[in-house]
Amino acid sequence: MKKILLLAALTLPLVAFAAEEIVGYLGVTTKNLSEAMEIALGVEHGVLVEKVSEDSPADKADIKAGDIILEIDGNKIHSYGDLKDIIHENPNKKVDIILYRQNKKTTKKVVLGEREKTKFAFELDIPELEELQEVWVHREGKIKEQIEKLKEQIEELRKELEEIREKIKS
């Protein structure tokens, strides 16, 4: 119950004051190209499409995993941030997307979708007090074991040092 109250106290103000905003949607998961990938593929910029959401505008336009998005309406795409900004600014707009697929450039005409902009996203996993106590007891036990081992090692070193002193004296 405490978890629910804490979560409500944290999120309610965020939800209450967040402005609703509609943004464009393409429906792809992408990855920025490394310099090595650009060299290997012979491209100067772009983002790699890793996944295409089913029934998304990208899926309907036949964009596939493995494609590289080079440009949207003449705007070069250098990173995920570039892609996201252009897509978000153009809900329901028809755009030309230049792709690099299997060593060829191709243009796809895509009608972007729309969705509500994500206001916030976080995942909160608060362990129960009992779980925290179990972890503490477990770690405390481990620490005590390590301390005991260190004490034994120190005692052994003292004995060795004493033996060395005795040998030096004689």
Extract the tokens encoding 75. 């705007």
H/E element, 25: strand 22-25
What are the structural domain ranges in the chain?
27-116, 124-170
| C-beta of residue 109 within 8 angstroms of C-beta of residue 61 | yes
Nearest by Cα to 43 from 109, 99, 107, 108: 99
Residue 40 to residue 23: CA distance in whole angstroms: 34
Q: What is the pLDDT of residue 104?
A: 93
Extract the tokens encoding 9. 């106290």
Residue stretches of the chain with pLDDT short of 50: none
CATH hierarchy code of domain 27-116: 2.30.42.10
For residue 154, report the phi and psi dihedrals to the nearest 5 degrees: -65, -40
Residue 29 to residue 52: CA distance in whole angstroms: 6
Extract the tokens encoding 125. 């996993």
Instruction: Tell me the pLDDT tens digit for each residue of 90-123.
Output: 999 999 999 999 999 999 999 999 988 765 555 5
Q: What is the pLDDT of residue 137?
A: 63
